[in-house]
Amino acid sequence: MVWLLRKCDKCRKYTLKKNECPYCSGKVRAPHPPKFSPDDKYIKYRMALKREVSTGERDVHKGT
């Protein structure tokens, strides 16, 4: 299934354009979350990014 709806990061409006927002020429992205999978290989990266965004700092001492 192809997602047609896009959301502007700048003005937060929805559009069907794939390249840029027709209202403010901002960057658009798909507003839908990724499909859930119990065998998610990238969970540690998304959780680290979520933690970084919420706290505003990077975890430089994190082991792999």
Q: Does the pLDDT value for residue 56 go beyond 80?
A: no
Q: Give the tens place of pLDDT for each residue, 23-38.
A: 999 999 999 887 778 8
DSSP the chain: -----EEETTT--EES-SSB-TTT--BEE--SPPPP-TT-SSHHHHHHHHHHHHHSS--TT---
pLDDT at 40: 83
Per the CB < 8 A criterion, the answer to whether 6 and 26 are in contact is no
CATH number for region 6-55: 2.20.28.40
Confidence category of residue 21, pLDDT binned at 50, 70, 90: very high
Distance CA 39, CA 32 (A): 20
Cβ neighbours around 10 below 10 Å, total = 13
The mean predicted confidence, pLDDT, of the chain is 84
